Structure 1
């Protein structure tokens, strides 16, 4: 059973829905059906949503692999929390006019670092399990 991954996936889904509603709200406000229509606020919202959608699936896959292979739940939870924090910080940074590049950088550092750690831990855990 994927207890931690399921919880993190639910939290991330709520965040994705919120980002999606932000795009929808701005599309309605500015009457833009496709693209950003040259509206900076909408462009930021679209990129925040798209960036989120680009990074979340691989993180959840790596978390699920780690959890299914029997890694400690506390370890997966810490990595999941770090990833969620990174995605929140990034989304906040990109959506604030003018964009707060420091928040975007911090958010991406959390995101990328978590992904790297997930890859390393998955490979290490796999090797550990194979050598038993």
Structure 2
């Protein structure tokens, strides 16, 4: 039996997603010949912030998923929450570019906040012995 299967799958997805976000930053850097910093480029700033925002939020999500799973309180719902988070982060990444995908930023941000809050509440309830 694999320990922490949801955490492992979520961490793998997060690693691939971070790589994708990094490649998107690199594509703009190459196109604009900007090696260091953002060169005042709005498009590069947007892509850099999309990746940074992912890096800022994902450790908390993964830690909460792992803690809930270690406590034996995971299950099918936890996989769905992890998947929703990853999909939201893809939408956020595209949404940060603006244009037709601009709505993805709002949806990605909202889902991220709801996932963080939901996981934190579940973890607190598990820790308090209520769940």
Matched residue, 2:123: 122
Report the alpha carbon displacement of residue 98 of structure 1 after superposing the two structures with TM: 7.3
Aligned to 2:96: 94
Write the mapping of 1:75-86 to structure 2, written as runs, cut at 5 A. 75-86=77-88
- In the comparison of the two structures, how many residue pairs are matched? 129
Check if 1:30 corresponds to 2:45: no
Q: Which residue of 1 aligns with 2:104?
A: 103
Structure 1 residue 39: Cα displacement = 1.6
Deviation sequence 1:65-113 (CA, Å, 0-9, x none): 000110132121121012112211111100244771x321111110000
Q: 2:19 is matched with which residue? A: 17
The answer to whether the 8 A contact 1:41-1:97 is kept is no
Normalising by the residue count of structure 2, what TM-score does the alignment of the two structures yield? 0.89
Report the aligned-residue RMSD. 1.8
Residue 31 of structure 1: how far off its partner (Å): 1.5
Is there any run of 5+ residues in structure 2 with no aligned partner, and where?
Answer: none
1:13 Cα deviation after fit:
0.9
Does the Cα contact within 8 Å between 1:85 and 1:110 map onto a contact in 2?
no
User: 1:8-61 CA deviation, whole Å, 9 max, x = no partner?
Assistant: 111111111011011112212212122211122211111111111111111000
Relative to the length of structure 1, the TM-score reads: 0.89
Name the structure 2 match of 1:42: 44
Match of 1:56 among 55, 58, 67: 58
Q: Distance in 1 between matches of 2:39 and 2:23?
A: 18
